[in-house]
Every structure is written in structure tokens, then in C-alpha cells.
Structure 1
């Protein structure tokens, strides 16, 4: 599963780099729900988790409305509020007490000129971004780790529905994940076993019958070089003197 998720996010990021001009280091806009989810699931530092998932240097941002929303949540989200205060704020946008959702939508409005990747656990915000800002990548926390929504505007090019292939990861990415996946079969069945093509070998010497030499025939010789006829011995000592 780890390799599959890594392959997907790299495929999606290649699409965003090619079609929408995203470049590393990535700008990542996080909301309070996402920060709290990362801490609750004990995934580690939010920035480290995002950088590892995206596979490239990244810088985290938030909005003034997100910081204010976390502050008003009280002690339950105290750690998330403290973490958010250390993040750089997005310029412009609405001021508190505007909802945090509206401040994030405003940051990517008009074509997402800052090329933000949005990390959120708010289902309402995710659906709104997919509908109104299709060129904005959306990342969320799952029980198995971070996941990215398929590009909403990539159906026509087949990126969102493309099947996974062995070329999805580079050799360096496979080595970083600590394992290699081999794709075999017409349907893309995956296996961790690397099969070697069998080499052509000679016959098994134990199963081959030895050739038996044929004895030469005693028949008369032929013009073709057959066996010579054996001469008869004459009895006696030859001609006697009379």
C-alpha cells in the first residue's frame, strides 16, 4: 500500500507540474483540522509528514482566520493552535471573524496563482475546492497516512483514471521506499518477486539413451565399399612332384 500511495501522489504531482506550473519547493496551505488530525494520529511533525509525502521540500502556510479559529477552540486544540501560530500567514484574504473555510478558498481563488497545495480534513472545503478550484491539489489525513484527491480536471486526459504501471516510480523513489515492485501480466498483477527468464539448456544427460554400435554384416561386399570377402584356405601343401 505504501508503494501504491507513493506512486499515486507522484503521478498527480507530475500532472500539476506539467499542466498547472507547480514547482518545488511546494507551498502548502493547512487548516486547523489538518494540524489537529496529524497530532491526534501521532504521525509526527506536520511539516515533516507533508514533506515526506510529497517527496520534495515544502513550506507550510496558514491564514489569520485559521489561527483565530483554533484559539477560540480552547484547550482541546491548544497544541494545534500553538503549532499554527508558528506558520507564516497568507497575504491578503479576509480577516477574522470570517470562517477559516472562506479564508482558504479566497487564498486559491482566481486560478490559484500562488500554486498552493491545500491540506484539510474539512469535507465541505474539499468538495468546494474540487468544484470551484480544480487546479488546486487537495491532501487529507487517512488512517493509512496522507492521501491526495485525484485531479478533478484530469478525467479527459486519463490521469485520474489511469491504471498503475511499473513506470510510476523512479529507481531512486523505489530505493527510498525500501522495496521494488515488479509488474507482470497483461492486467498489471503486482508481485515483489523478481522472476528471471529461464535460459535455454541442453538435454538431461541421464535421460538420453546411449547409442549402440551396430556389428558389421557378413554379407558379400558391394561396389559401395562393403566388407571384403574372406578367402578360402586350400588343404594340402600345394602341387606334388610326380
Structure 2
């Protein structure tokens, strides 16, 4: 499978997984038109469907109405009937007999838990399924299986769910703020006093002890004080000169 085709399928599957909780094993309900197209295009549904949907396990189903319709159409759909009998048959819960298209449409409207994929070539059934959000559609074209992109209804439902989630989160936040205000927790202005850091002295272990400097004793010659020359004042000098 080409890389672009694989990325497209993975993106669509992620859309249904994230928004409608559809995950593997994928449950695929097929009608007679899809089985006939697979037979005409020589497509092995069990093998190729699994590869196409990301190498995931696939479970195939038909309804009692689909089998009954194929039986009524006779020889032209004998091959499709043979394939249908290999799949698990879902019991129809509607009170009266319906065509295969009506039966699958009815199943899609009531499907809330199983999360079925619907495989069909029937244009009327396809249009009816487009009106129901979260129903992945498979069809055969260009000799290959194709998964239809999400419908406008599915996209709209996704947007509504996202908006509802945002609104719910906003209401929760508002309720929490009201609760905090009620208990005087939101506007609590109590200040926590910070402890003043005391000025610490130097680390005694990192300080070196003061060394005592050894001073040698003075000798007798050094002990005698030098006599200072007596400087006479200016008047004494003048008097001495006058006497001479």
C-alpha cells in the first residue's frame, strides 16, 4: 500500500477512535453489493481488509436480511451468497421483513455499543448512513478497498462534543472558584513571614590560627639608646656669633 494511502486511512481511523471510540478489532457489516464487488474485483476481503486497516484484526458480519436477499436473487449472486455464509450472521430485531439496505440502516441507527463499520456499494444506503454520525463507510473502487472520509454529520458532532467539553470545563472551573471564595481560601491574604537570615561569623574550621611571631632579645649595644643631637634655637646661634 502506498504511503499516502496508508496515512489517509490512519488519519481517518484516528478520527473515529478519538471522537467515537471505535477501535480494533474492527467489526464490519457487509451487504450483498459489497460482497459481489469484492468477488468481481478478485479481492480477498479477510486478507486485504486487515492490511488496509493497518494490519489490525477484522471481524466480518452479515444480517439475516442480507442472506435472505442474496438467496432470493438466485444464480447471479451465488458467489456473494457463498461468501456471506462464511461470516457471522446477526439476528435482525425488527418485527417485519426488510430489504438489506433498510436492515443495515436500521442497525446503524440502533448501534450504540458495537461500533460497526458498514461496507456497501448501495448508493441509497450510503446516503442514509451519511445522516448518522460516527459510522465508518467502506466501498470498493478502482479494484481496491476504500474507507470514506468522515461525513459532514460526523465532523459536526465532533465539533459539538469539543465545544461541550470546553463549556463543561469552564463550568467546573467557575464552581471551584465559587467554592474557594465561600471558604475564604481564594482571597486569603495571610502573609508568611520570612525568616531573617542571621549574619554568621566565619567558619572556625576554615580560619587559620594566628601565628605568634618570635622576637629575639636585643643585645647590649642595641639596647643603648642613641643620643640625639641637640639643636639650638636661632637666638642661641646669633648670640654665639656676636660673642666671637
CA distance change for structure 1 residues 94 and 49 in 2, over 3 Å: closer, same or farther? farther
Which residue does 1:104 correspond to in 2?
Answer: 104
Alignment TM-score, normalising by the size of structure 1: 0.60
Question: 1:34–1:119: 8 Å Cα contact kept in structure 2?
Answer: yes
> Which aligned runs of 4 or more in structure 1 are off by greater than 6 angstroms?
155-158
Report the equivalent of 1:57.
57
Counterpart in 2 of 1:124?
124
Query: Structure 2: where are the runs of 5+ without partners?
Result: 160-244
Root-mean-square deviation (CA), in Å?
2.1
Identify the structure with the greater helix proportion.
Answer: 2
Question: Is contact 1:63–1:90 with CA below 8 Å preserved after alignment?
Answer: yes
SS at match of 1:59: strand
| Structure-2 change in CA distance of 1:113 and 1:144 (3 Å) | same
Deviation for aligned residue 1:58: 0.7
Equivalences for 1:1-242 in 2 at 5 Å?
A: 2-43=2-43, 45-55=44-54, 56-94=56-94, 97-110=97-110, 112-131=112-131, 133-152=132-151, 153-154=154-155
3-state SS, counterpart of residue 98 of structure 1: coil
Shift of 1:150: 1.2
Q: State the secondary structure of the residue aligned to 2:155.
A: coil
Per the normalisation by structure 2, the TM-score is: 0.59
Asked if 2 retains the 8 angstrom alpha-carbon contact of 1:90 and 1:107, the reply is no
Gaps of 5+ in 1: 159-242
Range 102-111 or range 22-31, more displaced: 102-111
* 2: CA distance, partners of 1:48 / 1:115: 21
Q: How many residues align?
A: 156
